[in-house]
Amino acid sequence: MSPELVYPEFGGQRFLPGRGVSPEMASRLAEVEVRLREIHAADDTIEPFEKWCGFHEPHRGYRRGGGHHGTGRAIDFNYDTNPYIVTRTGQTLGGEAAAHDQPEMRQRAIEVCDRAVRLAFTSSDRADLSIRVNDSIETTYNRFATVSNCLVDYFAYIFSDHLTTIRRPPIPRVHTLFDGDPAFQQIRANEISVDKDHAVFQFETLFSDPHWQEAHPGWMSAEEQYWQMLRDYEMVRIPMLRGDPRRPITETRNPARGFLDLRGEVVCELVRTGRMRWGASDFGARASGDIMHFDLG
């Protein structure tokens, strides 16, 4: 028997038909919305509340099966652009439970995040995608948002952020391909915004800056960076899949958009005022990384 479901509007968005939430979840969302409206009213912005909240698609609550979604006590926001990602807490790589037997895939994905962060900062930096233990939710959100923004900046050298979904499988074993391998031609023209010559020129310009060189000793050449970025795009797409990790991947989210577009105030108030868990950081070291997900725990 399906649980009792209600369909409140939250942040200017409704729920998909059949994907409502429990009355308790609806009550918590109402508390959060009151607080968000207070924050919005105090914000020096002319954006209407609904646009300020940043939801660009209907919410998803109930779905048949186990877990908190099966009781209407969980909700997913901006499903198309906030995927499950790989996290790293100490030496533990976390992520979607069905992919726990893919440690090499996870290691390659987290290394992509490291390269994006290092290109933006220094060659000794690392992507901080660790779970929330003693951090405030604001600090945790900012850590994840920093890495997501670095991915956006990283891939902007070559890739378009126009698409939300990449409708093709990732290139098999892309990490083994040599520079210029014909297999890279599987990347479609509508995924790319900058041609190779211009991208390499941009890298050469960046890499020639003395301050950048000082912060990035021993960095790869501009040509090598171009081909590495193509590999990285494909490798980090894998955990951003749409569907079941145990089945062949046919489409993924677009990593050129990063992995987190939920507004910071929304995330923080869902956790604080709504007393919810955030799937990105509150599922423990092995299972965190579910960016879109919030539940009543």
User: Which burial class, exposed, middle or buried, applies to 242 when counting CB atoms under 10 A from its CB (0-12, 13-18, 19+)?
Assistant: middle
User: Computed over its alpha carbons, how large is the radius of gyration of the chain?
Assistant: 20
* Cα distance between residue 231 and residue 202, in whole Å: 18
State the pLDDT at residue 197.
98
On the question of pLDDT at 255 being above 90, the answer is yes
84 strand-pairing partners? 290
Closest to 278 measured CA to CA, from 256, 264, 255, 295: 295
Q: For the segment 11-59, what is each residue's pLDDT rounded down to a tens digit?
A: 999 999 999 999 999 999 999 999 999 999 999 888 999 999 999 999 9
Closest to 117 measured CA to CA, from 258, 239, 224: 258
Neighbouring residues of 223: CB distance < 8 A, sequence distance ≥ 6: 179, 200
State the pLDDT at residue 175.
98
User: Which burial class, exposed, middle or buried, applies to 172 when counting CB atoms under 10 A from its CB (0-12, 13-18, 19+)?
Assistant: exposed
Q: For the segment 165-184, what is each residue's pLDDT rounded down to a tens digit?
A: 999 999 999 999 999 999 99
Using alpha carbons, list the distances in angstroms from residue 169 to 11, 81, 154, 221, 259: 34, 17, 22, 29, 18
- Token pair 């190779």 is found at 196
Q: Considering Cα of 20, then 145, then 135, then 54, what sign does the dihedral take?
A: negative
Give me the mean pLDDT over the 102-114 stretch: 98
On the question of pLDDT at 2 being above 80, the answer is no
Q: Over pLDDT 70: what percentage of the chain?
A: 100
Give me the mean pLDDT over the 149-175 stretch: 98
Give me the mean pLDDT over the 282-286 stretch: 97
* Cα distance between residue 57 and residue 60, in whole Å: 9
Average pLDDT, the chain: 97
| pLDDT-based confidence at residue 1 (cuts at 50, 70, 90) | low
End-to-end CA distance of the chain: 21
* Cα distance between residue 83 and residue 70, in whole Å: 19
**pLDDT higher at 60 or 66:** 60
On the question of pLDDT at 109 being above 80, the answer is yes
Whether pTM exceeds 0.85: yes
State the pLDDT at residue 294.
98
* Cα distance between residue 185 and residue 245, in whole Å: 24
Which strand (E) or helix (H) includes residue 89? strand 87-89
The DSSP secondary structure of 142-200, one letter per residue, reads HHHHHHHHHHHHHHTTTB-S--SEE-SPPPTTGGGPPTT-GGGGGS-GGGBSS-HHHHH
Pair of tokens at residue 278: 């955030």
On the question of pLDDT at 126 being above 70, the answer is yes
State the pLDDT at residue 145.
98
Pair of tokens at residue 237: 């797409």
**Cβ neighbour number for residue 59 with a 10 Å cutoff:** 24
* Residue 123: DSSP 8-state: T
DSSP-based three-state secondary structure for 6: strand
State the pLDDT at residue 262.
98
Give me the mean pLDDT over the 206-217 stretch: 98
Helix residue ranges per DSSP H, the chain: 23-42, 49-53, 103-120, 137-155, 196-207, 210-215, 222-237, 264-272
State the pLDDT at residue 137.
98
